[in-house]
Amino acid sequence: MTIEARLKELNIELPSLSTPPGNFVSFVQTGNLLYLAGAGPKAKGKVGVEYSVEEAQEFARDVAIQHVAAMKSALGNLERVARIVKVLGMVNAGPDFEQHPAVINGYSDCMVDIFGDKGLHARSAIGMASLPFGIPVEVEAIIEVVPD
């Protein structure tokens, strides 16, 4: 099954890429690695304060879908994704919050749902006192790609 067919099966529609809010780009490819800039949801607030773990997992899943859209834009064809290599998930959390990995599971689970074993990756999930624009979750990733 192709990745496009898998997206349809999962009822995932890829969004358009938004313009980065600064002097940077959404992705950079060097050699066989594609670096995806940090992305986040449109929501604002802290996990463990305004949002539950489950709500934050959905935000992380939304970021995964944004990243898949960035991969498609960068590569033209999602079949060129060889592996999701490394993910850094950041959670804008209240001071007593300790479930950062559970939040970022929303991202990781989505990548595995879409890419299967190629979606399995190394990962860090960390808490932050704040994130840009007050977003609850931000994720960046490194992707291995098949050459043209």
Strand partners, 93: 47
Strand partners, 142: 35, 86
Cα 134 to chain centroid distance, Å, stands at: 17
pLDDT for 148 beyond 80: no
Extract the runs of DSSP E, i.e. beta strands, from the chain: 27-30, 33-39, 81-92, 122-128, 137-145
pLDDT for 62 beyond 90: yes
- Which pLDDT score is estimated for 128? 97
Average pLDDT rounded to a whole number, residues 50-68? 98
Q: The tokens of 70 are what?
A: 């960035």
Look up the pTM and report it.
0.96
Residue given tokens 């064809």 in the structure block: 77
Q: Where are the domains of the chain?
A: 3-18+25-145
Three-state secondary structure call for residue 137? strand
Average pLDDT rounded to a whole number, residues 109-122? 98
Q: Are 65 and 102 in contact (CB under 8 A)?
A: no
Strand partners, 92: 128
Please report, rounded to a whole number, the percentage of residues in the chain having pLDDT higher than 90: 94
Q: Are 92 and 126 in contact (CB under 8 A)?
A: no
Fold designation for 3-18+25-145: 60s Ribosomal Protein L30; Chain: A; (3.30.1330)
- What is the residue type of 75? L
Q: The tokens of 25 are what?
A: 């780009």
Q: The tokens of 54 are what?
A: 């489950």
Q: What is the mean pLDDT of the chain?
A: 96
pLDDT for 30 beyond 90: yes
- What is the residue type of 122? A
Average pLDDT rounded to a whole number, residues 27-35? 97
